Structure 1
């Protein structure tokens, strides 16, 4: 959910038979060189190598420094047909590859690759609005600010990223948090159609009547089935948003966390409203700063759903009616500022327990205060029952299969730092601490095993918290559409389905 840099920004199946599998051990340097040569022969102006002028920019065009890598070549397709050709050439040459849309995932290797081929989709910038059906066709090279800007002249809005430069495809394929999930479901639940390049280079359109199995699997199934070259999204009419930005001191932490839990427990689908809840801690100055970014679908200001927060003693409170683009344009995720590690777990919104966890986290941050460039944030995100209910009742569903009988709260460590030398230390610290807290929750009957891919550490297993029958179904669909395992063995970054 990418809350790490929020405050400074506001200041400015079973598998197929083994004999049919592509084996990563066969993916050689020769294969990569052959793929790069073949791509260059067909698309001489669209392939970059290490000596190309734009190579460094393209290989670091991500918000998380840990995603930086050195691909052997970078291919920049202009059309879906070119993506299909590239996939065919990569498979023919047995060349490992990564696919980048907007660089949303911060799992290292999920959208870049060392010594392989990077397929960068930034030129696929389709943004076609159909006002009559209130839909928009979106290319995978877009960011959410592009989508919101395209919809705004029609008085339309859609469920997408909460910060403007988040990439469209990554968010849509793994689920997608937005302020209005409680009413409209997750971003994936609002996709009506996908154009997909499959592992054999063919192209299909997946919707409720064409390849409906693949249509379902792409809703939360991540990068396991193909390369999506077009998303058709459902939009809705939206006038001004009622927004509020509030900041507090450390004395408000207990009241702030209690207000978050009250907000989650009182959430229904009647009024669309949501927020980014985060607490910054500066381990050097010892300053604690809770903050709220709240949005409600109403013309009343301040937004009534956040009355418990407005009642707290704040150090800053700005509430105003804003159009959708004005709100999102102030929420940027700058590239290349931090190395970032996420860890999170899901629990019932128990305020007393979360207050304890905040103190445990704060004390633990002090133990790594010597890490250069340390930038720790304690993040809370609502996962209300009403959001899960959309997929339970829309006739399609999604891979998650979340139960819609319980309101949940996700608590997350979002940790930034400066030096690669501290990668193992910070990751181990985060894993141990979040695991300790989750164990306590399990013992107290507060825990959910759900893990959201977009905010998970690479050591976490999102599939373990999904409905087991859904995971098995997704595995069967993977085998049907990618029997040779291209998106397991050649495109191997990110959260791949279990074997």
Structure 2
């Protein structure tokens, strides 16, 4: 394996001004003092775009998770360009001051996208979408939300491989993989990026593509926030008109039938009809108790597509609701932010209806045994279509290590609550459910090691799940780009999942 591009980037980093972390000295200013100092320095350059948490409560700041909203940062700065991001990094790294970077902010722990005791770099103003003359690509700002991009592309009759939720930012979503309702046609988001504009740990701005800084390009395709700050993505776009979305909820007693029919649809989606999109959600609500709901999608303006007929013939709790709409409309809703505390955990496995049924039984038993229905537990399940595996090899391949015949099944376990006294119970439930679900998957020879970083819980070993070769290569790229460890677990941006 060659690392020519990494060597060149390493030389580029080495040629920059050395920025070393200070050795420990009791007389050094505290992290909070260093952050205060740098906020003062940045305030003169970012007038009107620097906000203090303690002085004005930063009332304009919003973020999805309540735990992150409660995180006390010193200040938040809003750059408008890659050059401004570079300037901010020069100031912060030069004084070894902690920071975090927020795009959409759809993660779940302090320091993921809000800095604990440091500076939060908010990319929200870097949100332009510029469509190419041939309407095959678009350059999208690194602070853009899914709903903004869909809305900007819609007048052209175009779409992209974006998130299911409009509030999700392109940054974390794409750098982590980017699963999509259009995955059966176009793969995941990371394999639809042609170029990344990146501010490296030494504040140098580079463009990474298949042919330029190719190892960085590879690493950004699944490597998360370990290599720099991405300020723009040059992405593939494609014609997409209105599409069908339908939903139907079934009682707990119909779960086995729903899973059986869902697996047939997943198999059809792989090779026969890539317009299909389906996910199901097993959840507890006060209204229905335990139930299973389906979201049915079809990437054509076909009302009630026949592929879902057998599924919808299963007796349900209510009538089928469906309609035709654009992706811009379906992602436009703005849900309240900062209201709930959230935790995710995930498991990937080979197709197995038996595992699916028994896994839901484990979930129900754990939740009821601990009397934790108030955590609003839900398990969301859909396929990783065959197209994702095939397209993961294009342009030099990505870092995820996905390799399977046909499709895989991915599960997102989600808890959502409001009372902070329930935090530990939620964390324990998420950890224990995934551990038991994984044990069951292995016993049925259905386990797959892949851990989707955007759904992962703390403690899940994401990068090991990519396979030894990919893990090693990511680590080598990270060391070459960031020898001082700015973007590591022992550096300045320690949140989310770290290669080292």
> Normalized against structure 1, the TM-score is what?
0.90
What is the match of residue 434 of structure 2? 434
How do residues 149-164 of structure 1 correspond to structure 2 at under 5 angstroms? 149-164=151-166
1:281 to 278, 284, 293: 284
Q: Report the Cα offset of residue 131 of structure 1.
A: 4.5
> Any conservation in 1 of the 2:194–2:236 contact (CA below 8 Å)?
yes
Higher mean alpha-carbon deviation, 227-236 vs 246-255, is at 246-255
2:353 alignment counterpart: 351
The alignment status of 1:30 with 2:33, answered yes or no, reads yes
C-alpha separation in 1, matches of 2:110 and 2:378: 20
1:185 to 184, 187, 207: 187
Alignment correspondent of 1:424: 424
Q: Give the aligned partner of residue 237 of structure 1.
A: 239
- Tell me how far 1:20 sits from its aligned partner: 8.7
State the distance in 2 between where 1:181 and 1:113 align: 33
Cα distance in 2 for partners of 1:407, 1:23 equals: 49
SS in 1 for 2:296: strand
Is 2:274 the counterpart of 1:271? Answer: yes
Q: RCO higher in 1 or 2 (8 Å CA, sep ≥ 6)? A: 1
| Separation of aligned partners in 1, 2:85 and 2:307 | 45
2: CA distance, partners of 1:281 / 1:250: 10
* 1:51 CA drift (Å): 4.4
Change in 2 beyond 3 A, CA 1:286/1:303? closer
Name the counterpart of 2:312. 310
Partners of 2:278 and 2:337 lie apart in 1 by 23
Deviations 1:357-399 (A, max 9, x none): 212211221133357x52111211211232111112x233111
Q: Which residue of 2 aligns with 1:115?
A: 117
Aligned counterparts of 1:217 and 1:240: Cα–Cα separation in 2: 34
Which shows bigger deviation, 409-418 or 177-186?
409-418
- Mean alpha-carbon deviation: is it higher for 299-308 or for 441-450? 299-308
Q: Which residue of 2 aligns with 1:6?
A: none
Segments of 5+ residues of structure 1 without an aligned counterpart are 1-12
What is the distance in 2 between the residues matched to 1:172 and 1:413? 20
> What is the CA distance between 1:218 and its match in structure 2?
0.7
Task: Show the counterpart of 2:108.
Answer: 106
Q: Does 1:378 align with 2:375?
A: no
**Is 1:322 aligned to 2:325, yes or no?**
yes
Summarize the Cα distance change of 1:248–1:382 in structure 2 as closer, same or farther, 3 Å threshold.
same
Contact 1:244 1:303 in 2 (8 A): no
C-alpha RMSD of matched pairs (Å): 2.3
For this pair of structures, how many residues does the alignment match?
A: 477
Query: Which of 218-227 and 130-139 deviates more?
Result: 130-139
Query: 1:65 corresponds to which residue?
Result: 66
2:447 alignment counterpart:
447
Give the match for residue 483 of structure 2. 483
Give the superposition deviation at 1:200: 0.9
Asked if the contact 2:176–2:221 (Cα under 8 Å) also holds between the matched residues in 1, the reply is yes
Note the C-alpha offset of 1:424.
1.3
- What is the alpha-carbon distance in structure 1 between the residues aligned to residue 106 and residue 298 of structure 2? 25
Q: 1:316 aligns to what SS in structure 2? A: coil
Counterparts of 1:46-65 in structure 2, within 5 Å, are 46-53=49-56, 55-58=58-61, 61-65=62-66
Instruction: Please name the residue that 1:409 is paired with.
Output: 409
Residue 464 of structure 1 aligns with which residue? 464
1:390 corresponds in structure 2 to 391
Displacement of 1:54 in angstroms is 5.9
What residue is the counterpart of 2:170 in the other structure? 168
**Separation of aligned partners in 2, 1:254 and 1:24:** 60
User: What is the CA–CA distance in structure 1 between the aligned matches of 2:23 and 2:128, rounded to whole Å?
Assistant: 34
**SS of the counterpart of 1:340?**
strand
Q: TM-score by structure 2 length?
A: 0.90
